Amino acid sequence: MRILHVGTDSFGGYGGIALYNRDLIAAMASHPSVDEVVVVPRIIVGPCEPLPEKVTFVASAARGRLAYLNALRKTRGPFDLVLCAHVNLLPLANLIAKHPLLMLYGIEAWKPLRDPLSNRLLRDVRGVVSISDVTRERFAGWSHYAGPSLLLPNSIRAEWYGIRPRNRGLVSRYGLDGKRVLMTLGRVVAAERYKGFDEVLEVLPDLDDDIVYLVAGGGNDVPRLKQKASSLGIADRVIFTGLFPEEEKTDLYNLADVYVMPSRGEGFGFVFLEALACGVPVIASSIDGGREAVRDGRLGQLVDPTNPAEIRVAIRDALAAGPKRIAEGLEYFSYANFERRTHGIIESSS
């Protein structure tokens, strides 16, 4: 069996979708019936991780739009399964296969697509695979799609994380000695204000003075959030890390006493799994995919992001929860389970 993965970013990518795609590609390649997975990436932003066996990575496709189109045209078929790994790439995937399998992640699939052609092509996909039920439901609500629909949530490789002492270098860098730390990690960009940074800032003045908020990430919305923190009188209690190297991520999570992200538009929220794998109690939204990352409250607390009182109470409860521990039930999202689910999708879709 040969599989074509038409996607945005994976190996050499940054962020949750890239990581999800790397796991997906590795899991597909490990199926005993799969001989090759050809990956055509739209974006490469950094050094590529080692490729799994049976994966052919067409790095030249990421040199621009024309290069991507040419790479797709030159792919040598036939393919037993073509996977369109982003809804915006559906017209291009359709050049290779009239009935691709479509991946759905989050907010990009929650409303009609800007491209009318893509909206029409949705009727002909072989099936959809969604990262969460909330994305699957919202997609079906506007598209009226009624074909095969499968669920494939994120995986977490817990062995890459773990509970660690606070990194003294980072404590000194961010001035965290004697502080209790709330943390949110993610892109701090205007297009993703739904992540909940504002909601945490707004409750911080009502929390004890030794509680600080660590915003881990960078982006074009940082100046606005800094101004907001200043207007709320908490500028000295909000720390912005800016972009950080990937190898610091686990140590950053281990700085936190509570991971809090009362978001409104997350398709899933892989960051919750990362925090949980570091033993950090988490607070997620009850109205988006975050609730599925914490398994409807079994792995963490759920709050209504429009209710500041709920957020304050949840933070205080989490701070009082005692020593860090790895939440029971995180195994549900293990890579082994992800791989098993992926193999089932291949078998049902080919």
Question: Quick check: 61 and 40 in contact, CB under 8 A?
Answer: yes
E-strand stretches of the chain = 2-7, 36-41, 55-57, 81-84, 101-104, 127-130, 149-151, 180-185, 211-216, 238-240, 258-260, 282-285, 301-303
pLDDT greater than 90 at residue 77:
no
- The pTM assigned to this predicted structure is 0.92
Angle at CA of residue 128, ends 62 and 45, nearest 5°: 20
Instruction: Provide the pLDDT for residue 114.
Output: 83
pLDDT band at residue 115 under the 50/70/90 scheme: confident
3-state secondary structure of 93: helix
Question: Quick check: 319 and 292 in contact, CB under 8 A?
Answer: no
The full set of domains in the chain, from first to last, is 2-155+334-349 (3.40.50.2000), 158-331 (3.40.50.2000)
pLDDT digits (tens, 9 = 90+) for 297-346: 999 999 999 999 999 999 999 999 989 999 999 999 999 999 999 999 99
Question: Quick check: 226 and 248 in contact, CB under 8 A?
Answer: no
Residue 244, phi then psi, degrees to nearest 5? -130, 155
pLDDT greater than 90 at residue 118:
no
Residues 33-69 as b/e (b if ≥16 CB within 10 A, e otherwise) read ebeebbbbbbbbeeeeeebbebbbbbeebbeeeeebe
